[in-house]
Amino acid sequence: MATTQARAAPDAVAELHPVAVTALLYLQEALRAERYEECAEYVAVAKEFGAPDLELYGVLAEPRRSLKAQRAAHVLGLR
């Protein structure tokens, strides 16, 4: 039952499951530190706990990321 609720698409970040929020924060930090090997796992966890694609794209679209990070997002199938 909890898994079904966690996978429901929330309308706002405040409604996201805490695990999804944490995974998004870790994804953002991994991108900033150029630790791309960790990104796929964070994306998978965020999606599993209901993070909508819009939230993932928001993290990936952060302007402080490098071109290398944009390529990593493409490889992960997020662009």
Per-residue confidence band for 1, with pLDDT thresholds at 50, 70 and 90: very low
Q: Regarding predicted confidence, which is higher, 11 or 42?
A: 42
Tokens representing 54 are 């819009």
According to the model, what pLDDT value does residue 6 have?
Answer: 42
Q: What is the pLDDT of residue 5?
A: 42
User: For the CA atoms of the chain, what is the radius of gyration?
Assistant: 12
Sign of CA dihedral 59, 64, 65, 67: positive
Residue 68 has pLDDT above 80, yes or no: no
- Residue 32: what pLDDT? 86
Instruction: Locate the domains of the chain by residue range.
Output: 2-75
Compute the distance between CA of residue 7 and CA of residue 70 in angstroms, rounded to an integer.
Answer: 26
Q: Quick: pLDDT tens for 13-66.
A: 558 899 999 999 899 889 888 899 999 999 999 999 999 998 898 888 875 666
| CA–CA dist 63, 16 (Å, integer) | 23
Euclidean distance between CA atoms 57 and 55, whole angstroms: 5
